[in-house]
Copies of this chain bind each other. A is one copy, B any other.
Amino acid sequence: MPKIVDHEERRREVTKVAAQLVIQHGRAALTVRNVAEAAGCSTTVVSHYFDDMADLFFETYNYAAGRSRARIEAILAADPGDIIGLIEAVLPLDQERTDDWRIWFAFWSEALHSPRFADEQRQRAIAQTTRIKKCLTSRAKTQGAAAKIDIVASADRLSALIPGIAAEAIFDPATWSPARQRKVLRSELALLGL
């Protein structure tokens, strides 16, 4: 048992190093050699923890999803109707959330042609829309008759706004400040009476 735990833990540590490489130097910097150098170990050790390069790529991509899921779960555990919190958990409003998007965008080229990446991307988007629907339903209930909204259409709009705002902010952070991102989200919710 301890051996398995160590293996998983070490694999996660190497993945974290790989993610940092992608964030700072881009997708092209993700080589076994660079990961080994940054992790302070041999290339043999890196290769030991991953089946192949595709496995290392996928784990790195998944690293951002794991972090974002943890943020989302914390928000919804505190308040299942916190629609602002749910969406802000995955907008690039601080370093960690910005880094997550830099990782995702770095692998979208892969996601266009690799079924494994494409499937993860699709499932994550579907899960997010489902969460938004549930959260809107919970929020609308709390607000009572004040919020008579089309849950399905609203969830679709809010779901699409997430990668959309992220794309604007990642490529133009000077103009798309956290304040502007928040304003866009709030103006959409205001139209819904939320």
Contacts and interface: CB of A to CB of B under 8 A. Distances in A.
Interface of A: 25-28, 102, 105-113, 118, 121-122, 125-126, 150, 153-154, 156-157, 159-165, 167-168, 170-172, 175, 180, 183-184, 187-188, 191-192
Nearest to A170: B112
A180 B152 CA distance: 11
A160 B187 CA distance: 13
B109 A106 contact: yes
Given A102-B112, A109-B105, A109-B106, A157 B168 contact: no
A26 B113 contact: yes
A126 B171 CA distance: 11
A111 B171 contact: yes
A118 B160 contact: no
B157 A26 contact: no
Contacts of A109: 26-28, 105-109
Contact of A160 (B27, B105, B164): B164
A102 B95 CA distance: 27
B126 A157 contact: no
Given A25-B113, A111-B171, 17 more contacts: A105-B109, A105-B111, A106-B108, A109-B109, A118-B171, A121-B171, A122-B171, A122-B175, A125-B167, A125-B168, A126-B175, A156-B184, A157-B161, A157-B184, A159-B164, A160-B167, A191-B192
Nearest to A25: B113
Nearest to A173: B122
Given A167-B164, A180-B156, A108 B111 contact: no
Nearest to A103: B112
A11 B175 CA distance: 34
B121 A112 contact: no
